Structure 1
Amino acid sequence: MRIYELGDGTPEVSVVGSIHGDEPCGARAIERFVAEDPDVERPVKLIIANEEALDEDVRYLDEDLNRAFPGDPHAESHEKRLAHDLGREVRGTTAFSIHSTQSYAEPFAIVDTVDAISRSILPRLPVDVAVETNNFAEGRLIEHAHTVEVEAGLQKSDEAADNAYWLIRAFLTATNVLPAPAVASDGGNDVESQTEDDRLKLAAPEEDSLEVFKLLERIPKPDAEEYEVLANNFKVVEEGEAFARAGDELFTAEKDFYPILLSAYGYADIFGYAGQKVGELP
């Protein structure tokens, strides 16, 4: 675990990247941000979590770190010990955990539930979708209070690393670690200045609403030689509509649902999750 601390005082805000070693976007984004030596208005802690798995380019060494919290400092498992140490580092902070996925190219946010803290942060992130885990967060960092996870894009892509960088900046702006982007005025019309920070305002315009979904159940995936997904994440699948295939077996919806994290090979034993849309945030 590698930790960077910026600013003076005890950090009340933290950023965590690469909990999974095969998701380098968080580490790349943190290193890019720290290399800029930014001026911060509040102290912040940035953590590259599972360095050992990252070096090996594997998801984990002994077990999934994002299923190992709260951890155990005396465990034989590397990730169980690391979960304890990482939990100690983020305790008392508003935490931002960066991931990537094989199922969806656009960034989206994940929270345990939309509470007052996440409600103040989510609309200021460059995302169009947020997902409530609804009791599917066991062993995840997100179980800790005041934690927002994001899926930054497709695993190992340059786009995910770039998205993760801008997500970090947006989160740190929302938590007052970074100042709000400056916008110049041109004849009464707002125009973006030439600084890259203004991309944040363009990426998450205030007039856009944020769709909120809730996980309802896992979608099992049987053993097969080949898998195919026929539906799009966050787009409704209607009753009777085919949404996936395992070998020669076709899966159709027993009732309307929204697929979430649905992918052919993202998980070993499930296609992903069935969810419902529960509302929008302004």
Structure 2
Amino acid sequence: MRVVLISGASSGIGAATATRFAEAGDRVYNLDVRPPAAAAPGVTWLATDVANWAAVEEAVAGVHREHGRLDVVIANAGISIRHHVLETTWAEARQVVDVNLLGVFALWQASARRMVAQGGGVLLATASVNGHRGFPHYADYNATKAGIAALCRTFALELSPVVRVACVSPGAVLTPMQLAEYSPEMLAAVNERIPAGRHARPAEIAAAFFYLASAEAAFLTGQELVIDGGEIAGSTTSDFGAAVPQGSLVS
């Protein structure tokens, strides 16, 4: 049984990932500001704001005290606020950066200190194909996802060979965040731009995290695994979008 921490596991990719690890017999903790919509066997919710570094340290320390170790930590929590670059406020941009990028740093740092002391562990995170190309109305979000990939490489270099580090960059995934921001017509338009012809299922991203945390991936570190159905293989872009109200916050 491994001890697994996952931030933002109350819905979407995080919830699917928590379920995947719990079904394998791992002891899973969900660090999220919101409770899960439904209780998942083997998953414990810890009310935690990843933008609050002291709160992250407290949550990580508590789990470590209880079990004496941390095996896998996945920084998944993220938000997006759709807005034009000229209309983005400091408060909105700061919120996105604090959760999406600095929240990863906080969780990885607190966990890595204990992993180094115990002699091993795996740090993972959810990045995005948005970090690979421009995507209108998501400038701050895009920048944070590119930043996660940079954090991944740097943490890997500084913590190897004791701690492995990797991130997953999904393309379009049918999550509550996606459903909140896109109309059925917009979802269909996205599907037309993806060579695979559809959105990914959260469980497919969860399977990637499960692999990266496994012994089979023991020689993999400092890498970004893109799972996008071929979306960026031909430099496709998503330039539709006026239908979604700007300033809507989802997580």
Q: Where on the TM-score scale, by shorter chain, does this alignment land: which range?
A: 0.3 to 0.5
Q: TM-score, normalised by structure 2?
A: 0.36
Rg comparison, structure with higher value: 1
Q: TM-score, normalised by structure 1?
A: 0.32
Which structure would you say has the larger RCO, counting Cα contacts within 8 Å and 6 or more residues apart? 2
